[in-house]
Homo-oligomer: A and B are copies of this chain.
Amino acid sequence: MIPTIEASPEETYDIELEQTLLQANAKLARENRAQLDHYGITAIDFMGAIGSGKTTLIARMAGKLKDRLNLAVFNGDATTVDDVNLIAIQGVPTVQLATINGCHLDANLVGKAFLKIDLKKVDLIFIENIGNLICPAEFPLGSRSRVVVVSVTEGPYMVKKHPHMFLGADIVVINKIDLADAMGVKVESLVHDVHTLKPDIKVIPTSCKTGVGLDEVAAALLAGKELHADA
């Protein structure tokens, strides 16, 4: 038997404050959502581990969708502007959300970003969360759907290790499948793990390098948000 120590947060910090914080965030997320609904905007946020391919995927989706609807992108990033620059060169309005030492986005930061774009001119907002598979799950932002991007290079246990993240998602993208053989990771097993956890979730294997699966992601984003770009 391997001994196990379980964290009991009340020992080192105030659990009531933690609850207050989560409740405050949830309230702001509802306010964000109401504001988005008022303007007929859909927000979709992208979560996933560091380097899983969130920025690259958003850039590819922006390329496919920006001429069909009015897109804006918010990039969460602890300190640098690398991600937001990759999106901005596409000519899409962007806002940088610098969390400094924060390991997740929250609804407060996202609400402030609304003030930096012209909401009357936007149909769809993509939000890139901080690379982390733990706490973003606890902080809703007001988005209509949540996408989790995992990479086969993170190994075969990613789904089993982070159930909360997948339970809270609507679409799962399994990225970098061009490297699946080199990693010895079976894409079908990861798909199976997600469906075991949440049977009705949409799971799409992709490679942002070869382009495989990207049209399917674009279609899922449009369908999931019930936005009809051609209407």
Contact = CB atoms under 8 A, between A and B. Distances in A.
A12 B108 contact: yes
A35 interface: no
Contacts of A70: none
Nearest to A96: B4
B2 A88 contact: yes
A4 B98 contact: yes
For chain A, which range describes its interface: under 10, 10 to 19, 20 to 34, or 35 or more residues?
35 or more
Interface stretch (A36-44, A159-167, A194-202, A211-219): A159-167
B153 A51 contact: yes
Interface of A: 2-7, 9, 11-14, 17, 21, 24-25, 49-51, 77-82, 84-85, 88, 94-103, 106, 108-109, 112-113, 116-117, 130-135, 138, 151, 153-155, 157-158, 160-164, 176, 178-179, 182-183
